[in-house]
């Protein structure tokens, strides 16, 4: 119980850090740039979930609406590209605080592995996306064993080929 409390407090403490290195950030930013360029400039809406003080969006982002949601209010308030933010713990309540079909893009950077109800959250992403909208999930090779859900860490010693995934 005490360790749960320590963990909860640690998770909620604002951390103005980068979770991936500069090359990874640049790769994500460039990928977003290519994707966002396909939308009408100045007209599209993006939502970053499990967000923080940075969303890794291109510097010259031409979105009309940049919504972000995450757990730590101070981090979200410091995000300079966001036009709005909402605090939401998607493990307590796997519901995105937005209406249906509001966004052209939903993004999530290196945080899917913290979600204990990923199917519900993905259904929510689908709900808030406009028809034909795009969800972009980014993953890294860094893993915090104490924070990632069990499904992500239980078979870490086995290769994908052992699971019949990606093997020849
Ligand atoms: C590794 S950080 C990544 C932050 C940000 N996406 C980035 O790339 O810098 C994980 C993020 O997931 C958020 N998070 C963790 N558990 C969450 C939950 N249950 N609901 C919503 N956000 C959560 C944390 O607040 C944190 O901002």
Q: What is the reported pTM? A: 0.85
Residue nearest to atom 23 of ligand 1 (CA): 50
Domain boundaries, the chain: 2-163
Residue nearest to atom 13 of ligand 1 (CA): 50
| Token code pair at residue 168 | 């020849």
Cβ–Cβ < 8 Å for 54, 27: no
Task: Report the pLDDT value the prediction gives residue 163, as an integer from 0 to 100.
Answer: 47
Average pLDDT, the chain: 87
Ligand 1, CB cutoff 6 Å, lining residues? 19, 50-52, 54, 70-72, 89-91, 109-111, 114
pLDDT tens figures, 124-134: 999 999 999 99
Fold that domain 2-163 belongs to in CATH:
Rossmann fold (3.40.50)
Q: Is the dihedral of CA 104, 68, 16, 114 positive or negative?
A: negative
pLDDT tens figures, 62-109: 999 999 999 999 999 999 999 999 999 999 999 999 999 999 999 999
């Amino acid at each position: 119980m005490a360790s749960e409390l320590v963990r909860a407090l640690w998770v909620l403490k604002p951390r103005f850090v980068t979770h991936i290195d500069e090359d990874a950030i640049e790769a994500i930013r460039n990928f977003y740039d290519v994707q966002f360029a396909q939308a009408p400039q100045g007209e599209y809406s993006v939502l970053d979930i499990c967000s923080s003080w940075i969303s890794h969006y291109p510097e010259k982002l031409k979105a009309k609406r940049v919504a972000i949601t995450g757990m730590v209010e101070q981090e979200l308030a410091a995000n300079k590209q966001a036009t709005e933010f909402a605090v939401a713990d998607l493990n307590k309540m796997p519901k995105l605080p937005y209406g249906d079909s509001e966004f052209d893009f939903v993004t999530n950077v290196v945080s899917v592995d913290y979600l204990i109800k990923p199917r519900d959250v993905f259904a929510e992403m689908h709900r808030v996306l406009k028809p034909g909208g795009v969800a972009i999930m980014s993953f890294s090779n860094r893993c915090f064993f104490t924070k990632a859900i069990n499904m992500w860490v239980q078979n870490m010693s086995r290769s994908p080929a052992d699971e019949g995934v990606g093997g020849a």
